[in-house]
Amino acid sequence: MSEEQVAEVSADAEVAQSVADDWRSTIPEEIRGHKSLEHIQDVGALAKSYVNAQSMIGADKLAIPGKYATDDDWAEVYRRLGRPDNAADYELNNELPDGVSVNDDMLGWFKDAAHEAGLSPQQAQKLLNGYNQMLGGMVADDAGQADQMRADTETELRREFGQAFEDRISNANAVMQEFVVEELSEIQMADGRLLGDHPDVIRMMVNIGEFINSKIGEDSLEGVKNSGAMTPVEAEHRLAELRAPGTPYWDQRHPEHDFYVQEALKYQGMVGV
């Protein structure tokens, strides 16, 4: 290719590039600087943009309200996105977790809140499902915590009452059934335990039962039969009586010496429980 031909090709390319860069000179002056044309590089890109715009004509479009939009403006948006006309029109599947009872007031509140937030039925259902899932986890955690506290209470009272544990708990249950309204023991406390499972309440019932038995007579509570076992504290008092100075425990020649020694060993075992 000669130098003249090369120069001619270069000149043609420059002209073409100049036309491409100066395509805006071919459109009306009043729209040349419009912001929507800033990213249009050539006539071909302008044609594509026009074709795309034409394809959108007649489509179901939704304009997002601006910062000065009214509640009515947003209500129209929510309606077109699928929000029902009334909160009561939500048809929701309320799958409650185990341990949770149906609460119509709560579900009514949820529907009102979902409607006010502009949720579609699908969105409201997903939100309700998520809430129930979270609620199930909380219920499980509370149940596990309450079970652990009941186990801790039993361990504490078994250590305190020793061999007399079963007798004392039997007395406590009899007092609850005889004198305390059953619903009272079923009241749930803030930590998840029932009132009747609290160690201080159990001790109070035990003390009442022991008082009744001591003043009225053993097994005076209906349906209760005691084994006669002692708590470690009671056994310790009895052991101290057996080993008191001057008792047959210390006199090997006393006819009751062996009896005192055997009794002392028995109560010593109770103290060590």
**Mean pLDDT of all residues in 182-197:** 73
**pLDDT exceeds 90 at position 31:** no
Give residue 268's pLDDT band: very low, low, confident or very high (50, 70, 90): confident
Q: Tens digit of pLDDT for each residue in 161-173?
A: 888 888 888 888 8
Residue 208 predicted with pLDDT over 70: yes
Q: What is the mean pLDDT of the chain?
A: 76
| Dist. CA 114–CA 112, nearest whole Å | 6
Lowest mean pLDDT among 66-70, 201-205, 216-220: 216-220
Task: Indicate whether 196 pLDDT > 70.
Answer: yes
Please report which confidence band the pLDDT of residue 67 belongs to, taking 50, 70 and 90 as the band edges: confident
Quick: pLDDT tens for 213-256: 766 655 555 555 555 666 777 777 777 888 888 888 788 888 88
Above 60 in pLDDT, residue 259?
A: yes
Return contacts of 115-123, CB within 8 angstroms, 24+ apart.
115/83, 115/84, 115/86, 115/87, 115/90, 116/87, 118/74, 118/75, 118/77, 118/78, 118/81, 118/83, 119/83, 120/81, 120/82, 120/83, 121/82, 121/84, 121/90, 121/91, 121/92, 122/82
Provide the whole-model pTM: 0.40
Contact 186, 195 (CB under 8 A): yes
Residue 59 has pLDDT above 70, yes or no: no
